[in-house]
Amino acid sequence: MSNLFIKDTHGFKLKPEEAKKTYDVTAVIPMKVEDLENIVVSAIEGGINYWAALDNTDPEWDNKPEGLAVSQYVLELLIAGKSVKFQDAEGSDDDSDWNLTLEKLLNGIALDLRNYQTDLLDIDSEDADRIFQYALLGEIVYG
C-alpha cells in the first residue's frame, strides 16, 4: 500500500496524480500610467512595426493635439475607454484589423507575465511586441 504514495521533500505523502497537479495563482500588480506608456511607446515605435501598423484614420485622430507623440495619444485614447485600430503591416488581403482596448492591453500584460515573467520596470521593444501580440492576437504568432 505504501507504493500508492510518493513523499515530497516536505514530508507530505501524496498520490502520484496529486503530486503532478499545477495551480493557477492570480496576483494583482499595480500598473501606473507611466508603466503602460513605456509598453505602448516601445511597441509602436519599433516593437510591432514588422507585423502591425497603426490605423489612425478614425475620426478621433482629428483631435490629436499637435506636438503629442502618436504613441502617447494611443495611450490617451485607451485610458479614455476608446479602442485603437491596428492592421497588418504588410497590407495583406485577409482583412487583418485588430482593435486594442485598455482591457486587451492589460490582458496582454498578464499573459506575458505568466509566460515570460517580463520585468515591467525594464520593458524593451521585444517585451512590448509580445505584450501586443497577446493583446491583439491572443498568442505569439510573429517572431
| Alpha carbon 65 to chain centroid, angstroms | 26
Note the pTM of the prediction, 2 decimals: 0.82
pLDDT of residue 124: 94
Residue 117 has pLDDT above 90, yes or no: no
List pLDDT tens digits, range 39-63.
999 999 989 999 999 999 999 999 9
- Mean pLDDT over the full length of the chain: 89
pLDDT of residue 59: 92
Residue 11 has pLDDT above 70, yes or no: no
Lowest mean pLDDT among 21-25, 64-68, 80-84: 21-25
**Single-letter amino acid, residue 4:** L
pLDDT of residue 1: 46
